[in-house]
Amino acid sequence: MSRLFIAEKPELAKAIASQVASSFTKNDGYFECSNGDKVTWCFGHMLKLSDPEDYDSKYAKWNMADLPFCHVPWTKKISDDKKKQVSIIKSLTKNAQSIVNAGDPDDEGQLLVDELLEFFGNNKPVYRVLVNDYTPAIVKRALDGIESNSKYEHLGFQAEARSVADQLFGYNLTRGYTLQAGSDGVLSVGRVQTPILGLVVRRYREFNSHKKSYYYNVKGSFDFGVTYIGNYVVRDNDPVDDKKRIIDKVFAENIKNDIHGKPAIITSVVTEKKQTNPPLPYNLLTLQSDASRKFGYKPDQVKAITQELREKYKLITYNRSDCEYLNEEMHNDAPAVLNVISQNSSIFKNVILNANSSIKSRAFNSDKVSAHHAIIPTQSTHDVSTLKEELKNIYFLIARAYIAQFYPKYEYDETTVITECSGYQFKTVSNVPTAWGWKTLYKNDVGNDDIADNPEAQNLDLRSLENNSQGNCTQGIFEQKETKPAPLYTIATLLKDLTRAAKYIKDPKLKQILVDKDKDKASDHGSIGTPATRDSIIATLFNRGFLVEKGKNIIPTTTGEKLYDALPDTIKYPDMTAIWHEQIKEIRQKNEVQNFISQLMNFISSEIDQVKQKQLNVVDKSHKCPTCSDGYLKKNTRGKKPFWGCSNYPNCTHTQPDLKGKPGPIMKKVELSNFECKSCNSKLILRQGKSSKTKKNYKFWSCSAYPKCTTTYLDNNGAPKYE
In Å, how far from its chain's centre is CA 409? 29
Give Cβ neighbours of residue 82 (< 8 Å, ≥ 6 apart).
42, 43, 46
DSSP 492-544: HHHHHHHTTGGGG-SSHHHHHHHHHHTTT-SS-SS--S-TTTHHHHHHHHHHT
Sign of the CA dihedral with 342 first, then 345, 351, and 353 last: positive
Per-residue burial over 192-229, b = 16 or more CB atoms within 10 Å of its CB, e = otherwise:
bbbbbbbbbbbbbeebeeeeeeebbebbbbbebeeebe
User: Residue 509: what residue type?
Assistant: K
The C-alpha atoms of residue 546 and residue 567 are separated, in whole angstroms, by 14
Residue 519: CA count within 13 A, CB half-sphere = 5
End-to-end distance of the chain based on CA atoms, in angstroms?
A: 77
State phi, psi for 65 to the nearest 5 degrees.
-65, -20
Residue pair 703/684 in contact by the 8 Å Cβ criterion = yes
- DSSP, residue by residue, 558-595: HHHHHHHHHS-HHHHSTHHHHHHHHHHTT--SHHHHHH
* Active-site residue (options: 59, 318, 442, 489): 318
E strands within 28-150? 30-33, 38-41, 47-49, 76-78, 98-102, 126-128, 147-148
Give yes or no: 318 in active site. Answer: yes
CA distance 333 to 507: 47
Q: Is the peptide bond before 556 cis (omega within 30 degrees of 0)?
A: no
Determine the Cα–Cα distance for residues 533 and 299; give it in Å rounded to an integer: 10
What is the C-alpha separation between 185 and 546, in angstroms, rounded?
11
Q: Catalytic amino acids?
A: 318
